[in-house]
């Protein structure tokens, strides 16, 4: 490819004039290599697109089913002899469990499955352990229901759910202590009859985490709130601190060894593994400052540390992209340094700053490792935080940590929920990136 290696001699052709109608060997070679390079590029992009499609495809394939949940629809007779109308909360879920089991047993008998199962006790694999609590809550809210037969939608057991979603089949059920093949026959019949149905699973989006054995009840809602409060902390701290730092470093700080050192360190911080921030948070915020463990406040603080370099770097880049002529113009008409920054430079840099901030937040939203270290993981939340303060201070989880936790659990139903959680997380990330792009489009100025 070296031009010098092949000295073209124009004198060789007619009258020293080279025709541009005949392509010479060197040009051919050059064109060929250019074409080759183009194909390499296309191949690289195609590979990338292929993997992206595979990734998204597998996420959707595995995760979409989490958004549907199987329910039993049977009339439950709320026996007034076993339930106290005057004091409905005196009856525990242990009282309700047989009521539900009887209702399902009745339906089973109607469908001619009386022989396979001895009594209503055989129905328990079909019913979620949390079903009783749901009915109990309803009765406590409205004690007049006692003595009536109500049509309720009862959460089906996770094996039933798995069967309807194809996770469980007769072969695996035969080896499963929790469910028998006979149950599956019953489920088939009930499905035909309409008393077992798959419906859209709002509880997965809004619900709380559940225990190891109640995969069917688990939702990501509380973890979402945890993430939300964390993001509030991150936004509230890292945006002002990051922007102030950037403005100072970019516009005011003298350029000397010390500020150089700070700059290098900020760049380095951006490359520090997030787990390091986690252990730092554990040591400083929890062990030294004794802030509550597992609280979104602490998670937010740790993520703030992690997000700051991103925000500082992107803010400085967008400050730098404001043409110096604007600063000169402001100074030229007698604006002070600060006026020039706040009246002219910052408004022009704002879209870039916001974009950087949102991308930083998106990064923080998806971060798991530091949360593991400060305990924002595991089976933590059972209830929604009541109020803002508890939102910040009560132990909670975060979406990625919740997903990690689910993925760890043995029940394959949780595996499905982990994928579902990832879909929700991705939706959030896409939404945030879309907002970033929109902001940039909207506020981008030409000068």
Partner 1 sequence: MYDTPFRAERDVSAKDTKIAAREVQVYYGDTHAIKDVSVDILDKTVTAFIGPSGCGKSTFLRCINRMNDTIDIARIEGLIEIDGEDIYDRRVDPVQLRAKVGMVFQKPNPFPKSIYDNVAYGPKIHGLAKNKAELDEIVEKALRRGAIWDEVKDRLDAPGTGLSGGQQQRLCIARAVATEPEVLLMDEPCSALDPIATGQVEELIDELRQDYSVVIVTHSMQQAARVSQKTAFFHLGNLVEYGDTDKIFTNPQDSRTESYITGRIG
Q: What's the closest the beta carbon of residue 254 comes to partner 1, in angstroms?
A: 5
Q: What's the closest the beta carbon of residue 321 comes to partner 1, in angstroms?
A: 13
Q: Using CA atoms, how far apart are residues 63 and 66, in angstroms rounded to an integer?
A: 6
Q: Give CA separation, 129 vs 4, 48, 136, 152, 343, in Å.
A: 81, 45, 12, 15, 62
Nearer to partner 1, 21 or 257 (CB): 257
Nearer to partner 1, 112 or 323 (CB): 323
Q: CB-based contacts of 363: which residues, under 8 Å, 6+ apart? A: 306, 307, 310
Q: What's the closest the beta carbon of residue 349 comes to partner 1, in angstroms?
A: 12
Nearer to partner 1, 280 or 326 (CB): 326
Q: What's the closest the beta carbon of residue 443 comes to partner 1, in angstroms?
A: 11
Task: Provide the angle, in degrees to the nearest 10, between the axes of the packed helices 221-247 and 296-321.
Answer: 40
Provide the token pair at 174.
């035969």
Provide the token pair at 235.
């936004």
Nearest to 296 by CA among 390, 421, 425: 390
Nearer to partner 1, 340 or 355 (CB): 340
Whether the Cβ atoms of residue 99 and residue 75 lie closer than 8 Å to each other:
no
Helices (H), 2-72: 25-63
Nearer to partner 1, 268 or 339 (CB): 339
Query: With the CA atoms of 38, 40, 44 and 45 taken in that order, what torsion angle do they form, in degrees rounded to the nearest 10?
Result: 20
Q: What's the closest the beta carbon of residue 334 comes to partner 1, in angstroms?
A: 4
Rounded to a whole number of angstroms, the CA Rg of the chain reads 32
Task: Provide the angle, in degrees to the nearest 10, between the axes of the packed helices 221-247 and 399-408.
Answer: 140
Q: What's the closest the beta carbon of residue 328 comes to partner 1, in angstroms?
A: 6
Residues forming contacts to partner 1 in the complex (CB under 8 A) are 254-255, 323, 325-337, 339, 343-344, 348, 445-447
Q: CB-based contacts of 132: which residues, under 8 Å, 6+ apart? A: 93, 94, 96, 97, 100
Nearer to partner 1, 42 or 329 (CB): 329
Q: What's the closest the beta carbon of residue 344 comes to partner 1, in angstroms?
A: 6
- Residue 135: HSE in the Cβ half-sphere, 13 Å Cα cutoff: 36
Q: What's the closest the beta carbon of residue 325 comes to partner 1, in angstroms?
A: 4
Nearer to partner 1, 31 or 336 (CB): 336
Nearer to partner 1, 336 or 382 (CB): 336
């Amino acid at each position: 490819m070296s031009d010098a290696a092949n000295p073209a001699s124009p004198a060789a052709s007619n009258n020293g004039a080279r025709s541009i109608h005949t392509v010479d060997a060197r040009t051919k070679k050059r064109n060929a290599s250019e074409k080759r390079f183009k194909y390499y590029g296309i191949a690289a992009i195609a590979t990338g697109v292929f993997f992206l499609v595979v990734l998204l495809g597998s996420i959707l394939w595995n995760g979409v089913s989490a958004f549907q949940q199987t329910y039993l629809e049977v009339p439950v007779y709320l026996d007034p002899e076993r339930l106290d109308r005057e004091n409905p909360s005196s009856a525990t879920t242990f009282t309700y469990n047989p009521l539900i089991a009887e209702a399902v047993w009745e339906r089973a008998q109607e469908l001619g499955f009386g022989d396979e199962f001895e009594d209503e006790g055989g129905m328990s694999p079909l019913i979620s352990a949390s079903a009783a609590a749901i009915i109990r809550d309803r009765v406590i809210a409205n004690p007049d229901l006692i003595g009536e037969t109500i049509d309720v939608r009862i959460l089906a057991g996770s094996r039933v759910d798995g069967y309807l979603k194809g996770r469980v089949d007769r072969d695996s059920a035969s080896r499963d202590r929790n469910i028998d093949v006979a149950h599956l026959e019953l489920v088939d019949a009930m499905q035909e009859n309409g008393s077992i149905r798959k419906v859209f699973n709002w509880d997965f989006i809004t619900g709380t985490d559940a225990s190891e054995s109640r995969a069917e009840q688990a939702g990501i809602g509380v973890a979402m709130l945890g993430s939300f409060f964390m993001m509030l902390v991150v936004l509230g701290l890292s945006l002002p601190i990051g922007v102030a730092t950037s403005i100072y470093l970019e516009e005011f700080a003298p350029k000397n060894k010390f500020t150089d050192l700070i700059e290098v360190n900020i760049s380095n911080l951006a490359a520090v593994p997030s787990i390091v921030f986690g252990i730092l948070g554990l040591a400083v915020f929890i062990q030294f400052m004794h802030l509550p463990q597992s609280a979104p406040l602490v998670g937010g603080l740790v993520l703030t540390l992690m997000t700051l370099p991103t925000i500082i770097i992107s803010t400085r880049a967008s400050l730098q992209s404001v043409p110096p002529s604007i600063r000169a113009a402001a100074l030229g008409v007698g604006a002070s340094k600060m006026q020039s920054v706040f009246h002219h430079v910052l408004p022009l840099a704002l879209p870039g700053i916001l974009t950087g901030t949102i991308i930083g937040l998106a990064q923080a939203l998806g971060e798991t490792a530091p949360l593991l270290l400060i305990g924002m993981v595991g089976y933590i939340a059972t209830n929604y935080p009541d109020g803002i303060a508890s939102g910040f201070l009560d132990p909670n989880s975060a979406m990625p940590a919740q997903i990690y936790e689910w993925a760890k659990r043995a029940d394959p139903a949780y595996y499905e929920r982990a994928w579902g959680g990832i879909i929700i997380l991705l939706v959030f990330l896409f939404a945030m990136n879309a907002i970033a792009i929109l902001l940039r489009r909207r506020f981008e100025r030409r000068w």
